[in-house]
Amino acid sequence: MIRMLLMLIVFGLFSCNAKTEFKPEYLRHIGDIVTDSSLDDADFELCGEEDAVLQYFNFGDSDKYEGERIAIYDYFQEHYQPVSIDESGWIRVRFIVNCHWQTGRFRMIESDENYNERPFDKAISNQILELTKSLKGWIGYENEERGLDYYQYLVFKIKNGSIVEMLP
């Protein structure tokens, strides 16, 4: 009986893995972020509809930040304090920019240098998240009828606790 129970548990685990790998529960678009009152600033609101949030590259190749991307690079160079620790890989912070030049719904993913998901030391990840939240120059857009919202992200390449590259 115990063996059978174990088999069922193992089978169940594999089923869950298979579902995650090949049949995830999709939202409207890959990378969409559902609002979560436990994480998100209650004051942040979309200008348009939930199903009309665009991607940053839908606006062509213009920079979406006041002073262009170099202003973001400079900001992090000035404010990020390198952490002396043997941790390298990538961190992505994804969020939404609304038509009022406000940002919200920040979410983070983290991996090692082999793209395997794993958290960084909080001294690195919290710092990056908070600095990203403090950026105030994201450009908001609107057309004749309504304000537009778009997904933006920043990817940080980390080498031994220091930021060595920023994308996009």
Partner 1 sequence: MHIRSLIFVVFISFLGKAAHAQYNCEWFKAQGNMVRYQACLEANKSNEFYQFSKEFHEVYDRVMEMDPTWALPYRAKSVSYLKSGDFINWKKLIDQAVAYDTVTYLGYRAGCRFQFFRDYTGAIEDCLLLKKVMNNDMGYTANGQYHLDIVLALSYKALGDPNKAIETILERHHEANYMMGIFDMLHLGVLYAEQGDLQKAKACFEKQEAFNDLAENRYYLAMVYKKLGQKKKYIEQLEKAKSLYTIGLKMNDPYQAPMDKIYLKQIEIALAEHF
Chain positions contacting partner 1, by CB under 8 A: 21-23, 26-31, 54-55, 57-61, 67-71, 90, 92, 94, 109, 111, 113, 115-117, 139-145, 148, 151, 153-155, 157, 164-165, 167-168
Cβ of residue 124: shortest distance to partner 1, in angstroms?
Answer: 16
Nearer to partner 1, 94 or 127 (CB): 94
Cα-trace Rg, the chain: 19
Residue 17 CB, shortest distance to partner 1, in Å, is 12
Nearer to partner 1, 120 or 151 (CB): 151
- Burial pattern 54-67, b for ≥16 Cβ within 10 A else e, equals beeeeeeeebbbee
What's the min distance (Å) between Cβ of 56 and partner 1? 9
- Residue 5 in tokens: 């129970």
Number of neighbours of residue 132 by Cβ within 10 angstroms: 22
Minimum distance of partner 1 from residue 11's CB (angstroms): 19
**Shortest distance, CB of residue 59 to partner 1, whole angstroms?**
8
Contacts of 77 (CB under 8 A, 6+ apart): 163
- Of the pair 10, 70, the CB lying nearest partner 1 is at 70
- Judged by CB, which is closer to partner 1: 6, or 34? 34
Q: Which is nearer to partner 1, 9 or 15 (CB)?
A: 15
d(C-alpha 105, C-alpha 36), whole Å: 8
Nearest to 115 by CA among 91, 151, 95, 93: 91
Label the pairing between strands 54-55 and 150-159: parallel
